[in-house]
Amino acid sequence: MYYVIDSTLRECAGPELRTGKKKQQYVAVLTPQEWQAGREDFELGIDMDIDVFDIHTTKAEVNYDSVTGTFAIPDRKNIFGEYQKFAFALDEKGIVFIDPGDTVSKLIKKVVDTKKWRFPSLERFIYDFLEAIIHDDLALLEKYERELDAIDRDIDSDSDPDITRLGDIRCELRDLRIHYDHLIDLAQELEENENNFFKSENIRFFRLFSNRVSRLFDLVNSLLDYAGQIRDTYESRLDVRQNRIMTVLTVVTAIFMPLTLIVGWYGMNFKYMPELDSVWGYPAVIVVSILIVVLCLIFFKKKKWL
């Protein structure tokens, strides 16, 4: 698919990019096979191959007469799933995306449906394309915050919190933080404009994008800190609960220790033990045992061990 950058992206035929009377900047979306077959038509002067099946991160690299790079975008609906990967190459004439799937087409459609430009330019298109990648991320991070709030409330109310989900959120936020970090690096690389492909008055678009992603990056860090605090609170509550259980067990053990002594003592059944022949001997032992339990409970209550 080929587009001319006009007041919006206008779809066109490939030859129009080279035969049009007015030199207009373009956007091309090619499959890896189409790129291999027609890469020379774009005169980007790229000597190395762009392997879209060996993409690991989002980055931009400045070459002699072009800028090449890759995108690895986590699926916002399933951060742990497969990343959406594609590559790009650009110069002052336009940008070519090499995409084995339909990720770029969906992002471009979002730009076409929502953007019209009074002063069209390649820089403005790239800005809007990058914005389309992170368009719904603020709502996504707010959703994470609400989930963390719910887990925090469950801990405060001694309900059973979903700690497994807390761990998943922390992992997803870490992946997003890495993604934002790479996007910031890419925007800053474009802002450098080492090959002077971009107009100086339009460099601000990349700075705007970098600032916006930096705010998302900071928000992710805040959520990670919040998730860490929730985990620490949960662990401290577990420690308190375990301490209470150990206290109860210790108190029970302390109460029954003298009773165990009495049982062991009177279980020896010596012939000359005076209580054996006494009518009140057995009731007296019961009373003494009850008295020991009561005195122990009073003592532990006074010491606030119960």
* Residue-range domain boundaries for the chain: 1-119, 242-302
Q: CATH number of the domain at 242-302, out of 3.40.50.720, 3.90.1150.10, 2.60.40.10, 1.20.58.340? A: 1.20.58.340
Is residue 177 pLDDT above 90, yes or no? yes
Q: What angle do CA 273, 278, 280 make, to 5 degrees?
A: 125
Taking all residues of the chain, what is their mean pLDDT, rounded to a whole number? 83
Give yes or no for residue 176 having a pLDDT over 90: yes
Structure tokens at 97: 């995306």
- In sequence order, the 6+-apart residues with CB closer than 8 A to the CB of 216 are 134, 137, 138, 141, 176, 180
**What pLDDT does residue 277 have?**
67
Is the pLDDT assigned to residue 54 strictly greater than 50? yes
More confident residue, 266 or 176: 176
Region of 258 (left: φ > 0; alpha: ψ -120 to 50; beta: rest) is alpha
Q: Which CATH number fits domain 1-119: 3.40.50.920, 3.30.465.10, 3.60.60.10, 3.30.460.20?
A: 3.30.460.20
* 301: amino acid identity, one letter: K
pLDDT at 296: 79
Q: Which residue has the higher pLDDT, 210 or 264?
A: 210
Q: Could you tell me the two tokens for 83?
A: 């990343």
Q: Give the model's pLDDT for residue 50.
A: 67
Q: Please count the residues of the chain.
A: 306
CA distances from residue 41 to 17, 33, 165, 198 in whole angstroms, order as listed: 10, 14, 50, 21
79, 143 Cβ separation under 8 angstroms = no
What pLDDT score was predicted for residue 36? 81
Whether 70 contacts 55, CB under 8 Å: yes
287 vs 281, higher pLDDT: 287
Share of the chain above pLDDT 90, in %: 30
Query: Residue 274's pLDDT is what?
Result: 64
DSSP assigned state of 206: H
Summarised one tens digit per residue, pLDDT across range 290-306 is: 888 788 778 777 776 66
Mean pLDDT of 276-283: 71
Cα-based angle 99, 29, 115 (whole degrees, multiple of 5)? 115
Mean pLDDT of 69-76: 90
Calculate mean pLDDT across residues 166-177. Answer: 92
Identify the pLDDT of residue 271.
62
Give me the mean pLDDT over the 18-39 stretch.
76
Question: pLDDT tier at 21 (50, 70, 90 boundaries)?
Answer: very low
Lowest mean pLDDT among 29-33, 45-49, 181-185, 275-279: 45-49
CATH fold match for the domains 1-119 and 242-302: no
Q: 3-class secondary structure for 273-297?
A: CHHHHCCCHHHHHHHHHHHHHHHHH
Q: What is the mean pLDDT of residues 131-149?
A: 93
Q: What share of the chain is helix, strand, coil (3-state, %, to 5)?
A: 60, 15, 30
The CA distances from residue 147 to 228, 229, 230, 272, in Å, are 14, 14, 11, 73
Return the minimum-mean-pLDDT range out of 99-113, 186-200, 267-281.
267-281
